[in-house]
Amino acid sequence: MSEESPKTDWINRLIAFLKALPARRSRPSETDYSRWQQTEEEYQQEQAEWMEAVRRKKAEKQQRGKKDADRKSD
């Protein structure tokens, strides 16, 4: 019989502890399959809107970074 090293024993106790914790999962919501009927044009429009939103957020973030840099240099 081989003895477990202290490190292995600690890891096994940690795994047992984590498995014993209660899971906090949210209840699944009803899946919306309506987008499966989306046309190519609708998909392209949705993607264009998403890309524009990403571009705007990136520009805002860059502006905030420039303002912070200006304040620090003063």
Q: Can you give the residue ranges of every domain in the chain?
A: 41-74
pLDDT, residue 44, reads: 96
The pLDDT, as a whole number, for residue 1 is 39
- For 65, how many CA atoms within 13 A lie in the half-sphere containing its CB? 6
DSSP annotation of 38: -
Does the pLDDT of residue 4 top 70, yes or no? no
Alpha carbon of residue 47 to chain centroid: 19
* pLDDT tens column, 23-35: 887 777 887 787 7
Question: Do the Cβ atoms of 34 and 42 come closer than 8 Å?
Answer: no
Residue type, 53: A
Q: Give 39-60 pLDDT, tens digit per residue.
A: 999 999 999 999 999 999 999 9
HSE, CB side, 13 Å, CA atoms: give it for residue 70: 6
Q: What is the pTM of this model?
A: 0.46
